[in-house]
Amino acid sequence: MKFPFKKQLTLTVACLVLSFSATAQESPATKLLKERSAEFRKDVVKVTDGVYSAIGYRASTINMIEGTDGIIIVDAGQTPAAAREALAEFRKLTAKPVKAIIFTHSHGDHTGGAISFLEGGNPEIWARANFGSESNPFAAAGLTIQRQRGARQAGANLPADKKINNGVAPAVPDNERVTFEDGAVKPNRTFAEGRKRIVVAGVEIDLVAVNGETEDALYVWLPATKVLFSGDNFYKSWPNAYAIRGTPYRDIRSWADANDTMLKEGATFLVPGHTRPILGQAAVTAALTDYRDAIRFVFDQTIKGMNQGMTPDELVGYVKLPARLAEKDYLREYYGNVEWAVRAIFQGYLGWFDGNPSNLFPLPPKAEAERMAKLAGGPAALLALARDALKQGDAQWAAQLCDHLVALDPSAPEPKLLKADALTALAEKLLTATGRNYYLTVAQELRAAAKARE
């Protein structure tokens, strides 16, 4: 059962209008990403008796389990306002008090709304004992750059017409501050490893520690109804094994193992940390199997290529998901990107040095740019080449040439404007929403910087 029906119908009509008005020059990637927004239309899905998943309320799924004398919330969404909205929908189903909140991991998009579920009560708040372990090193190092890159990745500062969605979640609404910090509400019950059985409002709930997207991740298993809440170790997209906002190495082998462990539960219903639930045992088994296999394939191929002496730049051409996996909707690169995973695996195991001694002490950007300009016949000729490259459709090369031009003269507006155009062209062709948002945000920043110099 899905509701409210009226709202859903209106949105369906809106989506149809959108697809008919799509412009002719829209790339297949843009079209596909726009279609993806249907996955996050605001909705409360009945998963099975007593289990509901609210989708489209920013940014994670917000889930409710109904027990005898209370409810349990699995992940609280990103903002108190979005959580209040989801709770209002749940309150149409039951007035029972919130007895427990479970955080599948510490990311702000799953915890930031928790305060809205307290309702003056004192619920059990469950998480892993190492809750917040990913963000702790950033805080300790005083890294503010991650916030800026996070906003770029999320497209938080883009105008509404430039934000399609985030690949696994709706676009950030205007004026919402994006944070990836822990929510203000902290866990008051924790467990470290393995499986922890709790009983809340008469519901038997297993919390199972499985490292994956983060090292403080858990999944939630309801043995009686065979519902599995995967947190972010499964959502319908190739996983974000490396987030371009900047993350420590995410152990992709553990991530695959987490899917294997979840698979063995034999779930009938799978509720992801983002995107709509998968209903039916066969579909759940297929999804978790493919996800595990895809991650393992990319890991194994990357290691194989590394052992042949390939550099990251070579590896990204070598490691390709087999078509049988790549064509699955839940493995498309809506959010994460296979190339970024390959680079992350290399970095995670061998660090920054690609093995080529020319790169032990590379030329600084300006010194290299001076030599490139000389090759081209001077800076003006280099700019002309960059313009030409973009005209010919080689936006990547145009952007790289612009980097040299910017290094030569950081105050000149032309290279910045040209690079902005090149990044915009790259964004149009990229399915991965995080990369696309990043391109478009930096393009916007470059245009603003160029204008400031006029």
State the number of binding residues for Zn ion (CB under 5 A): 4
Nearer to Zn ion, 85 or 109 (CB): 109
Half-sphere exposure of residue 34: CA atoms within 13 angstroms, side-chain side: 21
Calpha distance 281→289 (Å, rounded): 12
In a 10 Å sphere around its CB, with 0-12 CB exposed, 13-18 middle and 19+ buried, how is residue 270 labelled? Answer: buried
Q: Which is nearer to Zn ion, 60 or 157 (CB)?
A: 60
Question: Which residue in the set 39, 85, 109, 215 belongs to the binding site for Zn ion (CB under 5 A)?
Answer: 109
Which CB sits closer to Zn ion, 30 or 146? Answer: 146
- DSSP alpha helices (H): ranges in 278-337? 281-307, 312-318, 323-326
Query: Please, what is the minimum distance in Å from the beta carbon of residue 391 to Zn ion?
Result: 40
CB of 60 to Zn ion, least distance (A): 5
| Candidate segments 62-70, 156-164, 227-235, 418-426, binder of Zn ion by CB under 5 A | 227-235
Using the minimum distance from each CB to Zn ion, give the nearer residue, 180 or 438: 180
Q: Which residue, 273 or 277, has its beta carbon nearer to Zn ion?
A: 273
Of the candidates 352, 355, 417, 353, the one whose C-alpha atom is nearest the C-alpha of residue 383 is: 417
- In this complex, which beta carbon is closest to Zn ion, that of residue 71 or of residue 217? 217
Q: How far is the CB of 255 from Zn ion (least distance, A)?
A: 14
Residues 43 to 72: which contact Zn ion by CB under 5 A? 60
Asked if 75 touches Zn ion (CB under 5 A), the answer is no
Query: What residues between 245 and 274 interact with Zn ion by CB under 5 A?
Result: 273
Find out whether 253 and 33 touch, Cβ atoms under 8 Å.
Answer: no
Instruction: Please give the residues from 328 up to 357 whose contact with Zn ion meets the rule CB under 5 A.
Output: none
The token duo for 352 is 């920054």
> For residues 112 and 106, what is the distance between their CA atoms, to the nearest angstrom?
9
Whole-angstrom Cα distance, residue 314 to residue 301?
12
Minimum separation from the CB atom of position 105 to Zn ion (A): 8
Q: Which amino acid is at 331?
A: L
Give, for 47, the enclosing helix (H) or strand (E): strand 43-48
**Rg of the Cα trace of the chain?**
23
Nearer to Zn ion, 45 or 402 (CB): 45
The least CB distance from residue 171 to Zn ion, in Å, is 15
Work out which of 39, 75, 216, 232 binds Zn ion, going by CB under 5 A: 232
Alpha-carbon span 419 to 403, nearest angstrom: 8
Q: For the CB of residue 330, give the shortest distance to Zn ion in the complex, in Å.
A: 15
* Percent of residues in the chain assigned helix, strand, coil, to nearest 5: 45, 15, 40
Shortest separation between residue 113's beta carbon and Zn ion, angstroms: 12
Comparing CB distances to Zn ion, the nearer of 77 and 273 is 273
Near Zn ion in 278-297, by CB under 5 A:
none
CA distances for 185 relative to 54, 80, 219, 280, 398, angstroms: 20, 11, 19, 34, 47
- Give the other-Cβ count within 10 Å of 117's Cβ: 27
Considering the complex, what minimum distance in angstroms separates the CB of residue 181 from Zn ion?
A: 14
Smallest distance from Zn ion to CB 273, Å: 5
**Is the CB of 191 or the CB of 235 nearer to Zn ion?**
235
Interface with Zn ion by CB under 5 A: which residues? 60, 109, 232, 273
